[in-house]
A and B are shown apart, each in its own frame.
Chain A
């Protein structure tokens, strides 16, 4: 069996793994829709903690024929998804199975194959049971505590804390998606909302509500304002920004930083500028008087 054939087998196994998670999918790679691709990306993110792009799936998995093997690190990710330590183990097992199968007389081979199928079915059933039991994906909404509206995914970040190790949790369509466990500690951070730590258990489906930080919310509004009401904005900025405010504007790809003090940054907001529209706030900190004294911005 050449490596490309092993890869075709791996593609089938990936499809089988996907079907275990999404039993209603009964198609082939040819009928694999963009939604299926999105689901598969999420499945890989949750189970292997790796990222695979939509384009890569289109190029290497969805296509019926492959001219060459994909990159080894991508093969490792797919092999891990289907239950192996990596591509090397997958190839080893595939070749071992082939030797065993081709080495048997026809009758014995059939018995052997039936045995393998029964064993595989048993294993699939067992794994499915384990997955349903242990790896049920839990989806929980993240909402503004006052308005009850969903919080934009761009404005909040979530991390899961296990054994003092933080790992990022993806937020899609204002919902966090985690593997259901008896107890999971999640910390939600946002420049515009107060930080919140919660412990989620399997039965928990109640939306997580975050309390907005009033001054940060005002700043968010000001950054989107037009020229109208500039005088009110000027007065309010004087109130919400600390005199020792430090604004860091991080340039593209972290290649530099520009610093602005209170007066300079206020001026950008009082008379909204073109550069302001290219700024995305990623961190806001306040002093003991609740005045904003630090803002980190990403220049887009």
Chain B
């Protein structure tokens, strides 16, 4: 537990340093634009996106899901992420290497994996992201396995299209998933 906490703090620290090196302008820095209470509200909303992501993965992995529905689900998953090729943990093999989100979808398709998440904890906030830690339970053939994971959540202003008009709105995106 102590070791896990140390690794978590190390990762948070690494992300923070990395974030500062990126040097986003003050106008896009989370802390410059939101109170801590607001950030907590957005962090809570981000955990719902993580839950949505694993709910979609379960549906996508089900053999009974039609091909056309899988395409819909795939689109919904990609929309949650900032990048379709975000690195994620490959849950299908013992070594748990890092692969792209796209590759993961190919590997879990029709394999009837069930995913469920719990025990969310958020790290301190960097310039335009934070890290959320959670417990993932993956079940296949009634055999559950549990993993402690970290996921980057970006929160930044983007230009979003509402029909023909465009507005700059602060948006949450899921990012890379890593092991401790």
Which residues of the partner chain A approach B44 to less than 8 Å between Cβ atoms?
A: 251-252
Using Cβ atoms and an 8 Å threshold, which residues of chain A touch B68? 231
Once bound together, how far apart are the Cα atoms of A136 and B38, in whole Å? 46
Give Cα distance in the complex from A249 to B52, angstroms.
16
Q: Mark B1-44, 1 if CB is under 8 A from A, else 0.
A: 00000000000000000000000000000000011011011101
Judge whether A256 and B41 touch: CB under 8 Å. yes
How many Å lie between the Cα of A243 and that of B162 in the bound state?
A: 7
Known A-B contacts A271-B76, A299-B45; the reply to A244 vs B164 at CB < 8 A is: yes
Q: Does the CB pair A261–B41 fall under 8 Å?
A: no
A273 pairs with B72, CB closer than 8 A: no
A contact face: mostly helix, strand, loop, or mixed: mixed
Number of A-B contacts (CB under 8 A): 83
CB of A148 to closest CB in B, whole Å: 37
Bound Cα distance from A261 to B68, whole angstroms = 23
Asked whether, in the complex, the Cβ of A267 is within 8 Å of the Cβ of B72, the reply is: yes
Q: What string of 1s and 0s marks CB contacts (under 8 Å) between A238-273 and chain B?
A: 000011111001011101101101111001101101
Chain A neighbourhood of B111, CB < 8 A: none
A299 to B75, CA, bound (A): 23
Please tell me if the beta carbons of B59 and A243 are within 8 angstroms of each other in the complex.
no
**B side interface size, CB within 8 A:** 34
Nearest CB to that of B76 among chain A residues? A267
**CB-CB < 8 A to A274: which residues of B?**
48, 51-52, 55
CA distance A230 to B69 in the complex (A): 8
Asked if residues B41 and A255 are in contact (CB atoms below 8 Å), the reply is yes
Across-interface contacts of B37 in A (CB, < 8 A): 253, 255
Q: In the complex, are the beta carbons of A251 and B51 less than 8 A apart?
A: no
Residue of A nearest to B168 (CB): A259
- Name the residue on B nearest A248 (C-beta): B169
The answer to whether the Cβ of A55 comes within 8 Å of any Cβ in the partner chain is no
A-B contact pairs, 10 of them (CB 8 A): A245-B163, A246-B162, A251-B38, A251-B41, A273-B52, A274-B51, A274-B55, A275-B49, A278-B48, A299-B48
Residues of A within 8 A of B (CB): 227, 230-231, 234, 242-246, 249, 251-253, 255-256, 258-259, 261-264, 267-268, 270-271, 273-275, 278, 299
The 6 closest A-B pairs by CB, nearest first: A244-B163, A255-B41, A275-B48, A251-B41, A259-B169, A243-B163
